[in-house]
Amino acid sequence: MYLELQQRLLTRVRALIQDQYGIELGPIAIEQPPDLKLGEFALPVAFELARKLRKAPKIIAAELATLLNNSLETVALLLPSESEGTAQGLAISRFEAAGAGYLNVYLNRGCLVSALAQFDIRPAPNSGLHVLVEHTSINPNKAAHVGHLRNAILGDTFVRILRANGQKVDVQNYIDNTGVQVADVVVGFLHLEGKSLAEIRSLIAGFETNGEKFDYLCWDVYARVSQWYDSGSEEENKQRKSLRYATLHEIEAGGNETALVAELISMAIIRRHLETMLRLGITYDFLPQESEILHLKFWDLAFEQLKQTGVLYFETEGKNKGCWVMTRPDAKAVEEGETDEDAKVIVRSNGTVTYVGKDIAYHLWKFGLLGRDFGYRPFFEYPDHTCWISTEHGEETHPHFGGAQAIYNVIDSRQSDPQANVIQALRGMGHTAEADRYTHFSYEMVALTPRCALELGYTVAEEDLGRPYIEVSGRKGFGVKADDLIDKLIAATRKETGARQPDRSEEERQLVAEQIAIGALRYFMLKFTRGTVIAFDFKDALSFEGETGPYVQYAIVRIRNIFRKAETSPEKVLAQFATLDAASLLKDADDIWGIWLRASKRSLTLDQCIATSEPAYVARHVFQLAQEFNNFYHRHHILTEEDPARKTLLLATAAITLRELVTVLSWMGIESPEVM
């Protein structure tokens, strides 16, 4: 509602300036005054016009205020009629010139709160783009860790935000099942453990039957192999690493026992990853595997397109001699017949394709530009849909997941250069529109505070105790497994809920503990902007004070308790409030009006998140609303208020806050508990 009103206002102001002064302006800035007594919006447009009109900004602002006040009905209408769908009530009450030349805008408080009270305003569903969001993408060689959780939570939240905006979104989780990390685990089982294919198959079956975590075993095997490569003599280490690359080659080639071992291990670990993420409410639609990109010859098709469009050329001189390299945007050196030493190698001189080459082919498929598709087979069943996985020859009837119009890749910031190379290749091939709708949704790493590392049982060196964070390393075996982190958070919360809710059943207390723990984890990962390194800490995440998930959840519980004690419901209160004179009730009640105004900014928050690919705006919005409500709660005695009309206003304010908090928390994948 707030966003739509802003847009209508700016459109009208721009049109008026065109009519009055013959000046066509571009985007007009809009600000929020520091005090609601100065209005809800402030436009500095007079300062921009001053040079062109050769007038003082103060005079221009006064002229605009007069013109707009004389035509309020053309500015914006609000409050759709429930029965006829018409509009009632002016959204803007007046314009005023202020300060050195600001144009302040005052909203009609009664109109806005009546609209919010009568209708749960949501972004209108729209056809939008067919969007593909790729996130999580963990190498299937060991258990998921805390760093993977940031990726998955960011991606899942952005999916929810896009869907809330009415867009069709497919969720993909890319599986690099032919990479060196999988090869390392295969080396561990075949050569360190000395196990055969049959023994590995039996081992996996035993783990699954007993409910044990095979990905935990692989975590340890991976760390041991990583150390084994460098623990022998120089000659031994050389032989061990040659074994690593021989194993990698066999996996990529397929059709041999080593490749079968890799498939067994990766399939078992992928299933575990999906189970882990499901604990956080995170699901997927499709799991494209690198093995099919290789075996279905995606690269061959992409290679021809890249050569035909001139994006790739064969280097005959210099350090890249014998390689197919990608032309730089500034290819002057090549045009003059010199070697392009800094060109990106896509096909090495030995004929192998680099990571970027395979990624270009994959993204041509994503945009429906490749001319070939995966085979599909069902892999994992969720309560409401099936997750499919790629294969060479799959089901005849299956959904189709390529051909997207926009792509978001949730990949950490260290992959910025490869991502930029893919975008560059798309542009070079003439796919400019697709390149413009390709977003690298980057983020920084997750580390641990020294206190958190100690709580998890790690030894922390004396010199590290004073550091703000300690980096984790799966290769070194130092890190927090995602399931362990979730279990520890739930256990800590379970102890608290047990003390607070002794009369509840075990099942109820467990459910509440899970809701709080998962909410704490998701909120902690989302409240930081994507470019911030996160130092995870149990105490900070689970705190009921400050900017945390439990703080926002507790505001919801507090509101629900108010309605239980008042023996009424939010729906009844809002229906009753609709019969009152809201404008007179809100006169000189800026703190109450501020909460309604904040609640109206849902669509603005949604727009900010999508425009900037930054879910932190959502976290900030719900925290500020919860904070404002808690201040309101301590300032006003809702249940003991004697004036019936004012009591209804206070309860309606609580109802609107509840509706907003529950809705926006759901975008974050956070549930709203009944009790805490």
Whether residue 103 is found in the same domain as residue 186: no
Helix 506-527 × helix 146-164 angle, to 10°: 90
State which residues form the domain around 211.
Answer: 180-281
The pLDDT confidence band at residue 151, using thresholds 50, 70 and 90, is very high
In a domain, 271, yes or no: yes
In a domain, 577, yes or no: no
In a domain, 239, yes or no: yes
**524: nearest Cα among 513, 538, 514, 510:** 538
In a domain, 25, yes or no: yes
CATH number, residue 30: 3.30.1360.70
Q: Does residue 547 carry a pLDDT above 70?
A: yes
Helix (H, G, I), strand (E, B) or coil at 358: helix
Token look-up 């002794």 returns 502
Residue finishing a domain among 81, 107, 133:
107
Enumerate helices (H) and strands (E) in the chain, giving the number of each: 27, 15
Q: Does residue 78 carry a pLDDT above 90?
A: no
CA–CA distances in Å: residue 370 to residues 67, 248, 304, 361, 365: 56, 26, 10, 7, 5
Render pLDDT for 315-354 as a digit per residue (tens, 0 to 9). 999 889 999 999 766 544 444 445 455 679 999 998 888 9
Residue finishing a domain among 281, 309, 327:
281
Enter the tokens of residue 260: 């079968």
Largest Cα separation within the chain, whole Å, is 89
In a domain, 218, yes or no: yes
Residue finishing a domain among 240, 262, 281:
281
In a domain, 399, yes or no: no
The pLDDT confidence band at residue 85, using thresholds 50, 70 and 90, is very low
In a domain, 342, yes or no: no
Looking at every residue in the chain, the average pLDDT score rounds to 91
Helix (H, G, I), strand (E, B) or coil at 350: coil
Render pLDDT for 88-100 as a digit per residue (tens, 0 to 9). 567 899 999 999 9
Number of separate domains in the chain: 2
In a domain, 23, yes or no: yes
**CA–CA gap between residue 504 and residue 502 (Å, rounded):** 6
Identify the pLDDT of residue 84. Answer: 41
**CA–CA gap between residue 449 and residue 445 (Å, rounded):** 13
Token look-up 């739930």 returns 490
Render pLDDT for 9-31 as a digit per residue (tens, 0 to 9). 999 999 999 999 999 998 999 99
Enter the tokens of residue 32: 């929020």
Q: What is the DSSP string of 431-500?
A: -HHHHHTEEEE----EEE-HHHHHHTT----GGGTTSS-B--BTTTTBS-BHHHHHHHHHHHHHHHHHHH
Q: At 625, phi and psi to the nearest 5?
A: -65, -45
Please give the share of the chain, as a percent, with pLDDT higher than 90. Answer: 78
Identify the pLDDT of residue 5. Answer: 86
Across 442-511, the runs of DSSP E, i.e. the strands, are 446-448
Q: Does residue 125 carry a pLDDT above 80?
A: no
Identify the pLDDT of residue 501. Answer: 83
Sequence-ordered list of residues with C-beta below 8 angstroms from that of 291, at least 6 positions apart, any chain: 177, 178, 254, 263, 390
Render pLDDT for 272-323 as a digit per residue (tens, 0 to 9). 999 999 999 999 999 999 999 999 999 999 999 999 999 999 999 988 999 9
Residue 664, burial from CB neighbour count under 10 angstroms (0-12, 13-18, 19+): buried
The answer to whether 430 touches 399, Cβ cutoff 8 Å, is no
Q: Does residue 175 carry a pLDDT above 90?
A: yes
Render pLDDT for 219-262 as a digit per residue (tens, 0 to 9). 999 999 999 999 999 999 999 999 999 999 999 999 999 999 99
Whether residue 102 is found in the same domain as residue 10: yes
Whether residue 103 is found in the same domain as residue 192: no
Identify the pLDDT of residue 475. Answer: 58
Enter the tokens of residue 134: 């790729």
The pLDDT confidence band at residue 631, using thresholds 50, 70 and 90, is very high
Mean pLDDT confidence for 643-664: 97
For the ranges 76-85, 278-287, 589-598, which has the lowest average pLDDT?
76-85
CA–CA distances in Å: residue 432 to residues 421, 438, 514: 14, 10, 46
